[in-house]
Amino acid sequence: GQQLNQSPQSMFIQEGEDVSMNCTSSSIFNTWLWYKQDPGEGPVLLIALYKAGELTSNGRLTAQFGITRKDSFLNISASIPSDVGIYFCAGQGGATNKLIFGTGTLLAVQP
Amino acid sequence: KAGVTQTPRYLIKTRGQQVTLSCSPISGHRSVSWYQQTPGQGLQFLFEYFSETQRNKGNFPGRFSGRQFSNSRSEMNVSTLELGDSALYLCASSRLGGGTDTQYFGPGTRLTVL
């Protein structure tokens, strides 16, 4: 099945550090979304981006919709232990709401 | 407002059996989409239902089917289960579907096929 290229695959950081992850696609999307998934749970929406070039923040999280509409990044500032989880990007395009997900980034934060 | 609910949360079946999973969307949401999550393939789109009609379909065999009821609740059925069907099945709801409508996920049903 189709998946977006997401990097890095995993990150092991110290509490307080900033984190950056990105997602690239060969296709253009109208919407980019970032989700966080905890073990045994469904993905929880963090940030939604609707316009090319858009930069949106949600607390310590900042995400941008790339100008080419083929990429997006997510930054987490001053990480805390509860940031641990798997982060997924997802692209949504055309007239349907079918989401194409990235391969995921596993984030581990050491107190 | 209650979130998306899925039942059951866990299920164990044997090869050849069939299974039905249920999803109740957020109140007022009319679009329900289903996704399969496995370690190897990640999150893959199965299908979307809106107003009791399948509106979009992913690349899964015909053993995977679904339906939606008039109250927007949806069920997914997998017949003749195979070992590779073991996965977390996620349901997501949105108000109207469409290209910019945000989807909210339920906790998933963990299916294990023995």
Q: Tell me the count of A-B CB pairs closer than 8 A.
A: 80
pLDDT in single tens digits along all 111 residues of chain A: 788 999 999 999 999 999 999 999 998 998 999 999 998 889 999 999 999 999 999 999 999 999 999 999 999 999 999 999 999 999 987 667 789 999 999 999 999
A43: nearest CB among B48, B99, B105: B105
Considering only CA atoms, which of B90, B98, B24 is closest in space to residue A30? B98
In contact, A55 and A34? CB cutoff 8 Å? no
pLDDT digits over A18-46, tens only? Answer: 999 999 999 899 899 999 999 888 999 99
Return the amino acid letter for B87: A
Q: Chain B closest CA to A35's CA: distance in Å?
A: 10
pLDDT band with cut points at 50, 70 and 90 for residue B88: very high
Give the chain A residue whose CA is nearest to the CA of B31.
A97
Q: Name the residue facing B103 among A50, A94, A99 (closest C-beta).
A: A99
Residue type, B108: G
Cβ atoms of residues B111 and B64 within 8 Å: no
Helix (H, G, I), strand (E, B) or coil at A111: coil
